Amino acid sequence: MKMKLLIANRGEIALRIIRTCRKLGIRTVLVHSDPDRESLPVYYADERYPLGGSTPGETYLNIPKIIKAAVGTRCDAIHPGYGFLAEDASFVAACEENHLTFVGPPSEALEKLGNKLLARRTMHEAQVPIIPGSDGQLRDEDVAVEVAERIGYPVIIKAVYGGGGRGMRMARTSEEVRRFFRVTKLESASAFGRDVLYLEKQLIDPRHVEIQALADSRGKIVTLGERECSIQRRHQKLLEEAPSVALDEKLRERLCDAAKKGLAAARYVNAGTVEFLLDKSGRFYFLEVNKRLQVEHLVTELTTGIDLVEEQLKIASKEPLGMSQNDVHVNGWAINCRINAEDPKRGFSPSPGTVVRYHPATGPGIRVDSALYSGYTIPEFYDSMIAKLSSWGRNRDEAIRRMRIALDEMEIVGVPSTVALHMAIMNDDGFLQGNFDTSYLDHVLPRMNSALLEIERFAVAAGVASKMTLRSPPVQSQPSTSKSSWRSFARAKAVAQDWRAGW
Ligand code: MV4
Closest CA relative to residue 285, chosen from 204, 213, 225, 223 = 204
CA dist 157 and 144 (Å) reads 9
Would you say the C-alpha torsion 428, 210, 381, 46 has a positive or negative sign? positive
CA distances in angstroms from 26 to 42, 96, 313, 344, listed in the order given: 16, 21, 10, 41
CA dist 352 and 371 (Å) reads 14
Which residue, judged by its Cα, is nearest atom 25 of ligand 1?
Answer: 438
Q: Which atom of ligand 1 is nearest to the CA of 156?
A: 15
Q: Which domains does the chain have, with CATH numbers?
A: 4-103 (3.40.50.20), 132-201 (3.30.1490.20), 207-416 (3.30.470.20)
CA of 170 to the centre of ligand 1 (A): 11
Find the distance separating the first CA and the last CA of the chain, reported in whole Å.
53
Residue 262 region by backbone torsions, left for phi larger than 0, else alpha for psi between -120 and 50, else beta: alpha
Q: What's the whole-model pTM score?
A: 0.92
425 lines ligand 1 (CB under 6 A): no
Q: What is the pLDDT of residue 478?
A: 43
CA of 295 to the centre of ligand 1 (A): 19
- The residue type found at 333 is W
Q: Helices 419-426 and 396-409 meet at what angle, rounded to 10? A: 150
CA of 198 to the centre of ligand 1 (A): 14
- How many CB atoms lie under 10 A from the CB of residue 383? 12
228 lines ligand 1 (CB under 6 A): no
115 lines ligand 1 (CB under 6 A): no
CA distances in angstroms from 501 to 4, 160, 494, 498, listed in the order given: 53, 50, 11, 5
* Cβ contacts of 126-131, under 8 Å, gap ≥ 24: 126/261, 126/262, 126/264, 126/265, 127/261, 128/258, 128/259, 128/261, 128/262, 128/286, 129/258, 129/283, 129/284, 129/285, 129/286, 130/285, 130/286, 131/200, 131/201, 131/203, 131/277, 131/285, 131/286, 131/287
Q: Which atom of ligand 1 is nearest to the CA of 232?
A: 23
156 lines ligand 1 (CB under 6 A): yes
Cβ atoms of residues 56 and 382 within 8 Å? yes
| Alpha helical stretches, state H, 392-435 | 396-409, 419-426, 429-432
210 lines ligand 1 (CB under 6 A): no
208 lines ligand 1 (CB under 6 A): yes
- How many CB atoms lie under 10 A from the CB of residue 443? 12
Q: Which residues contact 423 (CB under 8 A, 6 or more apart)?
A: 404, 407, 408
Considering just the CA atoms, what is the radius of gyration of the chain in Å? 23
Q: What is the pLDDT of residue 486?
A: 44
Q: Which atom of ligand 1 is nearest to the CA of 133?
A: 15
- The residue type found at 439 is S
Cβ atoms of residues 409 and 440 within 8 Å? no
CA dist 119 and 88 (Å) reads 15
Which residue, judged by its Cα, is nearest atom 21 of ligand 1?
Answer: 208
Q: Which atom of ligand 1 is nearest to the CA of 229?
A: 22
CA of 115 to the centre of ligand 1 (A): 16
Closest CA relative to residue 328, chosen from 263, 253, 245 = 253
Largest separation between any pair of C-alpha atoms in the chain: 74
290 forms beta bridges with 273
Q: Which atom of ligand 1 is nearest to the CA of 131?
A: 15
Q: What is the mean pLDDT of each run of 10 residues along the chain (503 residues)?
A: 94 98 98 98 98 98 98 98 97 98 96 93 97 96 98 97 91 98 96 96 98 98 98 96 98 98 98 98 96 98 98 98 98 98 90 95 98 97 97 98 96 94 95 98 88 62 44 41 45 52 42
165 lines ligand 1 (CB under 6 A): yes
Q: Best of 87, 120, 244, 287 to mutate for ligand 1, by most ligand atoms within 8 A of CB?
A: 287
Q: What is the pLDDT of residue 484?
A: 42
Q: Which residues are catalytic?
A: 292
Say which DSSP state 130 is in. B
160 lines ligand 1 (CB under 6 A): no
